[in-house]
A = this chain, B = another copy of it.
Amino acid sequence: MSCNFGNKIKITIFGQSHSEAIGVIIDGLPAGFKIDTKKTAAFMARRAPGKNDLSTPRKEADEVKILSGVVDNITCGAPLCAVIENTNTRSGDYDKLRKLPRPSHSDFAAMMKHNGFNDIRGGGNFSGRLTAPLCFAGAVCMQMLEEKGIRIGAHISSIGKVDDKQFDPVNVSADDFDSLLVKAFPVINDKQGELMRKEIYDAKGSGDSVGGTIECAVIGMPVGIGDPIFDGIENRLAAAIFGIPAIKGIEFGSGFDGSRLTGSQNNDDFISENGKIKTATNNHGGILGGISSGMPIVFRCAVKPTPSIGMQQQSVNTETGEEESLVIGGRHDPCIVPRAVPCIEAAAAVVIADFLL
């Protein structure tokens, strides 16, 4: 099924961009945990649109209402269902898309899958809006993981052709994450951040959009978690991360760059540090044979440029079969990468919680 993920912590996401509400069920949460709703709200605010001129001017309050699973915000062992009402919808914008699917959007594939009965308003349940309940689930899992000394953080590692510094894969720390959390534009090197913003403004100025990459790290991970073959940490993280719209690639540790190296360059020697076995380098990204090595888990994701652009494009009228030009109206993000940062963290939190709680 498309909307389920996880084994021990199982999340189920539902809703369409313009349905009554969207939401998530989180099943398997241990009872007796007090959810800090201020922290969940702060986490979700990082994803919310309309914060600045880099994102869509569409305002979404994203106010979460918990329907079940808690008593006085303390988990009670029952499935937690949280919903967010869809209030600020303008369905009129999407009428012509029924006939004229947007390039590189899900419209065409969804229409073919559902015989034209898919909810095309706002992208239906293919919408990036569905990452809001994912972020809520991730925020809850993250609070629980923090109690176990596990932290997750991410930053924009590139926009268009401009790159940020990367995390130090051996020494990435909670301080690194904390300093990213206070930034409106979460990059390590703010100078590069300025250049990245410029890429976004440029794209916006020409009615275009731009893609980027996000780097994420998990620290405090105990050693020996995960399974070989199909239930390794890489398999599970990848399966969750590709659930975020616009993600088209993922790599762990040295990833694609590592594939160009020799074994002697890419292997990570073991060292002994204060009686603990660690590795001197971390090209393996904290995962060996699908299992955590105790080193930071590090991965990077490719985010494609937002397919909804203001420029004229070509589509095919599904009724007439004729090629037609298309200009997409509505309010769109010129770059989805900044808002995707907490989504990546949230997906990672859900996966790691599923392994550990």
Contact B267 A2 (CB under 8 A): no
Give the nearest-CB partner of A317 in chain B.
B272
Contact B307 A263 (CB under 8 A): yes
| Contact among B68, B210, B262 with A16 in the assembled complex (CB-CB below 8 Å) | B68
Binds B, one of A146-154, A164-172, A225-233: A225-233
Q: How many chain A residues touch the partner (CB < 8 A)?
A: 145
Contact B108 A277 (CB under 8 A): yes
Contact A271 B323 (CB under 8 A): yes
For A302, list chain B residues within 8 Å (CB): 251, 255-256, 258-259
> Does A243 lie at the interface of the complex (its beta carbon under 8 Å from any beta carbon of B)?
yes
Binds B, one of A4-12, A40-48, A51-59: A4-12
Q: Mark A303-331, 1 if CB is under 8 A from B, else 0.
A: 11111110101111010011100000000
Contact A243 B267 (CB under 8 A): no
Once A19-B69, A291-B110 are accepted as A-B contacts, the answer to whether A260 and B211 lie under 8 Å apart by CB is yes
Q: How many copies does the complex hold?
A: 4
Binds B, one of A175-183, A187-195, A281-289: A281-289
Once A66-B20, A321-B272, A323-B272 are accepted as A-B contacts, the answer to whether A263 and B305 lie under 8 Å apart by CB is yes
Q: Mark A6-37, 1 if CB is under 8 A from B, else 0.
A: 01001011111001111101011001100000
| Contact among B112, B239, B311, B315 with A270 in the assembled complex (CB-CB below 8 Å) | B315
Smallest beta-carbon distance A228→chain B, Å? 5
Give the nearest-CB partner of A212 in chain B.
B259
Contact A76 B261 (CB under 8 A): no
Contact A245 B289 (CB under 8 A): yes
For A186, list chain B residues within 8 Å (CB): none
Give the nearest-CB partner of A3 in chain B.
B79
Contact A25 B25 (CB under 8 A): yes
Once A69-B14, A313-B269 are accepted as A-B contacts, the answer to whether A2 and B238 lie under 8 Å apart by CB is no
Smallest beta-carbon distance A102→chain B, Å? 9
For A114, list chain B residues within 8 Å (CB): 31-32, 76-77, 224
**Distance between Cα atoms of A10 and B266 in the complex (Å):** 35
Smallest beta-carbon distance A234→chain B, Å? 4
Contact B27 A4 (CB under 8 A): yes
For A173, list chain B residues within 8 Å (CB): none
Return the 3 tightest CB-CB contacts between A and B, nearest first.
Answer: A106-B289, A2-B227, A249-B251
Residues of A within 8 A of B (CB): 1-5, 7, 10, 12-16, 19-23, 25, 27-28, 31-32, 65-71, 74-81, 83, 101, 103-106, 108-110, 112-119, 121, 124-126, 130, 158, 160-161, 203, 208-213, 223-232, 234-236, 238-240, 242-243, 245, 247-256, 258-272, 275, 277, 279-280, 283-285, 287-294, 302-309, 311, 313-316, 318, 321-323
Give me 23 A-to-B residue pairs in the complex whose CB atoms sit less than 8 angstroms apart, sorted by A's number: A1-B231, A2-B79, A2-B230, A4-B12, A12-B12, A14-B78, A19-B70, A19-B78, A77-B117, A105-B288, A110-B228, A130-B229, A208-B262, A211-B260, A211-B261, A235-B238, A242-B290, A249-B250, A251-B256, A265-B305, A269-B314, A270-B323, A271-B316
